Amino acid sequence: KQEVTQIPAALSVPEGENLVLNCSFTDSAIYNLQWFRQDPGKGLTSLLLIQSSQREQTSGRLNASLDKSSGRSTLYIAASQPGDSATYLCAVRRRGGTSYDKVIFGPGTSLSVIP
Task: List the one residue from 18, 55, 107, 112 that touches another protein (CB under 8 A).
Answer: 107
| Ramachandran region, residue 79 (left: φ > 0; alpha: ψ -120 to 50; beta: rest) | left
106 binds another protein (CB under 8 A): yes
45 binds another protein (CB under 8 A): yes
What is the Cα–Cα distance from 48 to 54, expressed in whole angstroms?
A: 12
Positive or negative, the CA dihedral 47, 49, 50, 56 is negative
62 binds another protein (CB under 8 A): no
Task: List the one residue from 36, 64, 80, 111 that touches another protein (CB under 8 A).
Answer: 36
Neighbours of 30 (CB within 10 A): 23
The set of residues, in sequence order, having a beta carbon less than 8 Å from that of 54 and lying 6+ positions away, is 66
Question: How far apart are CB 81 and another protein at their closest, in Å?
Answer: 23
Question: How far apart are CB 13 and another protein at their closest, in Å?
Answer: 24
Question: How far apart are CB 61 and another protein at their closest, in Å?
Answer: 19
37 binds another protein (CB under 8 A): no
CB closer to another protein out of 38 and 63: 38
What is the Cα–Cα distance from 18 to 61, expressed in whole angstroms?
A: 10
